[in-house]
Amino acid sequence: MKPSRRRFGRWVCGVVLLLFAAVCCAAPVGNAISAYVALNPGAQPEGAIAAGGTAADIPPRMLTAYKKAARQVGRAARTCRGMRWPILAGIAKAESHHAVGRTISAGGDIRPRIYGVLLNGSGAGGNTTVFSDTDNGRWDGTAQGERAVGPFQFLPSTWNDVGKDANGDRQADPHNADDAALGAAIHLCGNGRDLSKRAQLKAAIFQYNHSNAYVAGVLGFIDQYQVAAKDPELKNISARARTVIEAALTQRGVPYSWGGGSTSGKSYGFCCSPGGSSGAHIKGFDCSGLTLYAYSRVGIRLPRTAAAQAGVGRRIAAGLGTSALKPGDLVFFARVPGRDATIHHVGIYLGGGQMVNAPRPATAVRVDAVNTMPGYTGGARLL
């Protein structure tokens, strides 16, 4: 595609079981993601958005940057309306696949830096127009011309107009996640756009890249991320409980896979569940795989099965009801309530009677009411 002066390069509860054990629930990106993948949601690579909406493909530090920019933009673009983090995530998904494969520091610096192709009219990467150097290589690493930079793929000349310091280091750097996300928010807001209105959102995306196919692709990403944006309010909880819950929530939309999930994230499962479902060709989580992953984010290594996980931490009796639970607690379900040997399912309590849940084959990780699953048999507190 042809970059414009205001636009910038192209660019995842069964278990590893003993035969009769209790079971659970019934590369670095190159310079930029290819235009084909960016503009064709059906051609997404491994780790892309699953149907139903998930933020699982967004590195946590990048997601933090998008949320922060959505909050900050009102100070830099006072007439902007309707900015929300899924809009920024949709753009960054198309431009750099969320900088996946890079190292992102606590302060937001992305290394190695992300560069687009040199815009010298050679035709490489789809560029047919020469863009003369404007930054003497400060941001794009070359004085031979311009190339798009950072996770939002700004031209240096555009960055001069929209770049702001968002992380407090007194430098506006397009290679910093916070700064780049805020710059993208400012650019998309334009002259007082209301991005809650579909027509104005489309206009903002078209300004970012003059391509109707690009607009359609990004809107698809935004709509799917918007589902994941409907997070429950997490108030008055510890930092560790928040980390566990957010790790689980980011996996919403990831498919259920019998035997799937590890401390590293989603994985292929195996065959077969009591109902005959195989996870061998599904990369995802079963119920205990999801809890195993989420708790590993705070250094807690859980056993692999739901029944074994019930033996960790302080038990909370079912007779006390869900009012005795705190966010982050494990919640268990048994074929015979009160008999731990029959526990077959586990979730993570959110508060308000809800839990993060990987229910069963042919579903995906989602938020459910605790009473959605039969046989509630209490919880366990590990935090």
CATH code, domain with 171 = 1.10.530.10
Q: Burial level of 263, CB count in 10 A (0-12/13-18/19+)?
A: middle
CA-CA distance, 343 to 311, in Å (whole number)? 11
Q: Look at residue 181 in the predicted model and tell me its pLDDT.
A: 98
Closest CA to 89 of 232, 253, 229: 229
Name the average pLDDT for the chain.
84
Q: Has residue 349 got a pLDDT over 80? A: yes
Domain annotation covers residue 126 = no
Domain annotation covers residue 22 = no
Domain end: 209, 228, 247, which one?
228
Claim to verify: residue 210 and residue 288 sit in the same structural domain: no
Give the CATH number of the domain where residue 271 resides: 3.90.1720.10
Domain annotation covers residue 8 = no
Claim to verify: residue 328 and residue 368 sit in the same structural domain: yes
Claim to verify: residue 155 and residue 54 sit in the same structural domain: yes
Claim to verify: residue 211 and residue 270 sit in the same structural domain: no
Claim to verify: residue 194 and residue 66 sit in the same structural domain: yes
Claim to verify: residue 271 and residue 326 sit in the same structural domain: yes
Q: Has residue 366 got a pLDDT over 60? A: yes
Domain annotation covers residue 193 = yes
Q: Look at residue 2 in the predicted model and tell me its pLDDT.
A: 34
Q: Look at residue 311 in the predicted model and tell me its pLDDT.
A: 94
Domain end: 180, 198, 228, which one?
228
Domain annotation covers residue 10 = no
The per-residue pLDDT for range 61-115, each reduced to its tens digit, is 999 999 999 999 998 898 999 999 999 999 999 999 999 999 999 999 999 999 9
Domain annotation covers residue 305 = yes
Q: Look at residue 54 in the predicted model and tell me its pLDDT.
A: 61
Domain annotation covers residue 139 = no
Claim to verify: residue 207 and residue 309 sit in the same structural domain: no
Claim to verify: residue 167 and residue 295 sit in the same structural domain: no
pTM comes to 0.58
- Tell me which residue range forms the domain holding 283: 239-381
Q: Has residue 28 got a pLDDT over 50? A: no
pLDDT: which is higher, 135 or 129:
135
Claim to verify: residue 192 and residue 45 sit in the same structural domain: yes
Domain end: 228, 255, 290, which one?
228
Claim to verify: residue 217 and residue 96 sit in the same structural domain: yes
| Total number of domains in the chain | 2
Q: What Rg value do the Cα atoms of the chain yield, rounded?
A: 23
Question: CA distances (Å), 335 to each of 25, 325, 358, in order?
Answer: 11, 21, 17
Domain annotation covers residue 164 = yes
Claim to verify: residue 91 and residue 167 sit in the same structural domain: yes
Claim to verify: residue 258 and residue 220 sit in the same structural domain: no
Name residues whose C-beta falls within 8 Å of residue 17's C-beta, 6 or more positions apart in sequence. Answer: 23, 259, 305
